[in-house]
A and B are shown apart, each in its own frame.
Chain A
């Protein structure tokens, strides 16, 4: 079955710097890759997603890249702000299933 690995587990950056979180997946047939942001005590919220027919997607300061050959995808946050501090989860969705396989999460701290 699908397996998703996420690195790093914690990441501290200075405000204004960029942050990159990386995930790898094992099932080459997976075709949908969402990213979630979870603030303390709240449910995760979808912040960006990418499908397997696209290599990159951007939404303001957030971008996701996908390398199908290497089976990895990354979240890029530019010009980080204190409110970006949260736990971020990546996920992969194998075709024909109704569930996501989540990474173990990255705790991002943006230092003011």
Chain B
């Protein structure tokens, strides 16, 4: 069966520090991968998605970047965090092909102080 791993679960970082969140998927090949952010009490904002190694689509221009160095690995990064980067970050995957179900990871709670 397929599983998605996301870490760390919680993170407290000072303003101006770098960020690296990692997501890996097991049990499938060539998944579509997604990064979402959820502000406190708010909806799901798509940040990036990837349909293959090295292929990254950005939905919202901001202080973040994403990379997909391996087929089942998706990384969210920032060189310098802002207070506004605080939130709940969710990785998700779906099978190849549009319109198929997402499976979300357990999320990372990022607090920038």
Contact = CB atoms under 8 A, between A and B. Distances in A.
Given A98-B51, A103-B43, A105-B43, A43 B99 contact: no
Interface string B31-49: 0101000000011101001
Interface residues of A, number: 23
Given A43-B90, A43-B104, A99-B49, A31 B43 contact: no
A44 B51 contact: no
A29 to B, nearest CB: 11
Given A41-B109, A42-B106, A45-B104, A89 B98 contact: no
Contacts of A44: 44, 90, 104
Contacts of A15: none
A96 B100 CA distance: 11
Interface string B73-113: 00000000000000000101010001111111111010000
Among A32, A42, A44, A49: residue with most chain B CB under 10 A: A44
A43 B105 contact: yes
Interface of B: 6, 32, 34, 42-44, 46, 49, 51, 59, 90, 92, 94, 98-107, 109
B78 to A, nearest CB: 21
B49 to A, nearest CB: 6
A100 B102 contact: yes
Interface of A: 31-32, 34, 36, 41-46, 49, 89, 93, 95-100, 102-105
Given A98-B32, A102-B43, A46 B101 contact: yes
A32 B99 contact: yes
Given A41-B107, A105-B43, A95 B99 contact: yes
A46 B103 CA distance: 7
Given A42-B107, A43-B104, A49-B101, A98 B43 contact: no
A59 to B, nearest CB: 14
